[in-house]
């Protein structure tokens, strides 16, 4: 066998170094800005990068802290953009008590400035992967903190969580070497609870939060993709007002009645806030809009069902919303009987 000389060894090394890197290297969302400034700025304001932030960034958000804590006691903040914020201590555990160990509400609710209990008094590891970070692996502990379960490339939902590793795309920009998917399942991998089936879990009189794919699959728009109404780079509340594109006759009729004349939008009735993330405004008004759309106008209809399996009871939402969630949030002095009589004429 021919022996390798020093020069041939060096040549082999230089050849290997010249081979392009495999398309598995994550480069971070900041690398996307120079070519995609508009999408990058929309994403920054969307709430996705806020799903998890280091203390060094989050401390400038003017969030209050749980009793007794200072920012020196905090390593990360979970959320803090639109709905709520939770806090992680320097060992990687979610804070569930006051600093002295006494009972305390430790979840801050942004909409009304209130506080709620979150797993009161428990030693709660942070194991929210893969939906609060980019390129999650269940192995190891981020930053070496025992309470942080798993590791990841970037805090929050960065560009590469949806578009895949961007190393090749940065080196040679092309649509062929970056992932672009508009399927509902692409969003549903995070916007679900317990799988992507058409049975949204519910609790306490509301659909649980982050079940958009379950709701979509349970409702009349199950064949639509999220991008039909949403720009995935923008905040969800900036969804397109495009109901009339498919429901033109209904929209024209609706525009002539009292609700249409006062500017009530389709989503106020067909996407009521029947889900709860942080707070409930009233008995039938949460803080997240449902994606079920279909309204059952029967005054006796029950929006939820309870299933018992192996001695455990679970509650799920059915494929419609009922009149208490649709009408009584605004017409609080009325009842479902009144709503049933009038809802059928709404268009």
Average of pLDDT values for 256-265?
93
**Residue 12 falls within a domain, yes or no?**
no
Q: What is the mean pLDDT of the chain?
A: 92
**pLDDT tens-digit map of 62-97:** 999 999 999 999 999 999 999 999 999 999 999 999
**Residue 100 falls within a domain, yes or no?**
yes
Same-domain pairing of 105 and 148: yes
Domain end (from 159, 175, 207): 159
Same-domain pairing of 152 and 227: no
**Residue 81 falls within a domain, yes or no?**
yes
Domain end (from 159, 176, 204): 159
Same-domain pairing of 219 and 306: yes
Domain end (from 124, 141, 159): 159
**pLDDT tens-digit map of 102-116:** 999 999 999 999 999
Same-domain pairing of 274 and 152: no
Residue 40 pLDDT exceeds 50: yes
Peptide bond connecting 130 to the previous residue in cis, omega within 30 degrees of 0:
yes
**Residue 172 falls within a domain, yes or no?**
no
Structure tokens at 73: 């006691």
Residue 22 pLDDT exceeds 80: no
Whole-angstrom distance, CA of residue 107 vs CA of residue 77? 11
- Alpha carbon of residue 62 to chain centroid: 22
**Residue 167 falls within a domain, yes or no?**
no
SS3 readout for the chain: CCCCCHHHHHHHHHHHHHCCCCCCCCCCHHHHCCCCHHHHHHHHHHCHHHHEEEHHHHHHHCCCCCCCCCHHHEEEEEECCCCEEEEEECCCEECCCCCCCCCCCCEEECCCCEEECCCCCCCEEECCCCCCEECCECCCEHHHCCCECEECCEECCCHHHHHCCCHHHHHCCCHHHCCCCCCHHHHHCCCCCCCCCCCCEEECCEEECCCHHHHHHHCCCCCCCHHHCCCCCCCHHHCCCCHHHCCHHHHHHHCCCHHHHCCCCHHHHHCCCCEECCCCCECCECCECCCCCCEECCCCCCCEEEEEECCEEEEEECCCEEHHHHCCCCCCCCCHHHHHHHHCCCC
**Residue 10 falls within a domain, yes or no?**
no
φ/ψ of residue 27, rounded to 5: -110, -10
pLDDT on residue 18: 41
Same-domain pairing of 148 and 201: no
**Residue 138 falls within a domain, yes or no?**
yes
Residue 3 pLDDT exceeds 80: no
Same-domain pairing of 211 and 288: yes
**pLDDT tens-digit map of 187-236:** 999 999 889 999 999 999 999 998 999 999 999 999 999 999 999 999 99
pLDDT on residue 16: 39
Domain residues for the domain of 284 are 186-343
Same-domain pairing of 323 and 219: yes
Same-domain pairing of 152 and 240: no
φ/ψ of residue 210, rounded to 5: 65, 40
- Confidence tier at 24 by pLDDT (50, 70, 90): low
Same-domain pairing of 319 and 224: yes
Same-domain pairing of 143 and 282: no
Residue 264 pLDDT exceeds 50: yes
pTM: 0.89
Domains identified in the chain, total number: 2
Q: What percent of the chain has pLDDT over 90?
A: 90
Same-domain pairing of 199 and 330: yes
pLDDT on residue 4: 46
Same-domain pairing of 255 and 125: no
pLDDT on residue 17: 41
Assess contact for 102 and 121: CB atoms under 8 A. no
Q: 299 burial class (0-12, 13-18, 19+ CB within 10 angstroms)?
A: middle
**Residue 57 falls within a domain, yes or no?**
yes
């Amino acid at each position: 066998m021919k022996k390798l000389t020093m020069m041939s060894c060096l040549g082999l090394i230089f050849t290997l170094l010249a081979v392009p890197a495999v398309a598995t290297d994550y480069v971070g969302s900041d690398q996307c800005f120079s070519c995609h400034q508009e999408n990058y700025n929309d994403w920054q304001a969307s709430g996705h990068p806020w799903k998890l932030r280091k203390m060094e960034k989050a401390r400038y958000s003017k969030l209050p802290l749980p009793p007794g804590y200072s920012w020196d006691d905090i390593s990360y903040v979970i959320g803090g953009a639109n709905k709520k914020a939770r806090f992680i201590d320097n060992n990687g555990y979610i804070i569930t008590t006051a600093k002295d160990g006494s009972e305390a509400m430790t979840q801050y609710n942004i909409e009304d400035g209130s506080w709620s209990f979150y797993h009161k008094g428990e030693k709660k590891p942070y194991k929210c992967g893969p939906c609060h970070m980019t390129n999650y692996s269940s192995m190891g502990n981020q930053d070496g903190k025992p309470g942080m379960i798993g590791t990841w490339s970037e805090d929050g939902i960065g560009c590469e969580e949806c578009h895949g590793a961007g190393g090749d795309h940065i080196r040679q920009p092309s649509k062929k070497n970056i992932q672009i998917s508009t399927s509902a399942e692409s969003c549903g991998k995070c916007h679900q609870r317990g799988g992507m089936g058409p049975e949204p879990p519910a609790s306490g009189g509301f659909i649980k939060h982050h079940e958009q794919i379950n709701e979509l699959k349970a409702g009349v728009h199950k064949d639509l993709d999220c991008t039909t109404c949403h720009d995935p780079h923008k905040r969800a509340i900036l969804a397109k007002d495009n109901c009339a594109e498919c429901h033109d006759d209904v929209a024209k009729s609706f525009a002539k009645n009292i609700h249409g004349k006062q500017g009530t939008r389709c989503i106020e009735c067909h996407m009521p806030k029947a889900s709860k993330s942080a707070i409930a405004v009233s008995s039938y008004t949460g803080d997240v809009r449902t994606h079920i759309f279909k309204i059952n106008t029967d005054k006796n209809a029950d929006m939820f069902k309870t299933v018992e399996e192996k001695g455990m009871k679970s509650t799920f939402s059915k494929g419609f919303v009922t009149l208490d969630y649709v009408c009584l949030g605004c017409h609080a002095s009325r009842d479902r009987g009144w709503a049933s009589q009038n809802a059928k004429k709404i268009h």
